[in-house]
Amino acid sequence: MAQSWDTLIIGAGAAGVAAGRKLVDAGQSILIVEARPRIGGRIWTDAAFADFPIDLGAEFIHGEDAVTHALVAAAGFSTLDAPRKKKLQIGADGTLYRVDQLPPPLAQTVRALFAAYAELTQQTWRNRDQSLADYL
């Protein structure tokens, strides 16, 4: 006997899984198909590349009012605040370098970028959670 579903969702990334959850909560039957042998889409941690796990995407929840916080809590998980980094590490050929270990011209550029960013963080924002396009 053939099975049937109310909705077919293509892709088991964050959007596909969230859509599936909404539809199931609304009483719909769903089928999610995914091309990869895992769910998560861009959300992926590579534990084989180095001696430590490397997050390859979607590791942060941006914005205090993001709906993602509610989804995390509903799944029984919690989040951690990520303090702003005071140091930058740049990788090259699998090696990580602190800013003070970079060639002087590159270190100067990185420090200038940090200074510009620090200046931006001191400005008064119309809305703390807004896109760059809205800010500009």
**Residue range 15-61, pLDDT digits in tens:** 999 899 999 999 999 999 999 999 988 888 888 888 888 888 777 77
19: closest CA among 9, 27, 28?
A: 9
CB 88 within 8 A of CB 114: yes
- Does residue 115 fall inside a structural domain? yes
- Does residue 23 fall inside a structural domain? no
Residue 94 has pLDDT above 70, yes or no: no
Q: What is the pTM of this model?
A: 0.51
CA–centroid distance for 84 within its chain:
15
- Does residue 9 fall inside a structural domain? no
CB 83 within 8 A of CB 90: no
Q: Coil, strand or helix: which one is 73?
A: helix
Residue-range definition of the domain harbouring residue 93: 83-136
For residues 100 and 107, give the distance between their C-alpha atoms in angstroms, rounded to a whole number. 7
- Does residue 128 fall inside a structural domain? yes
**Number of independent structural domains in the chain:** 1
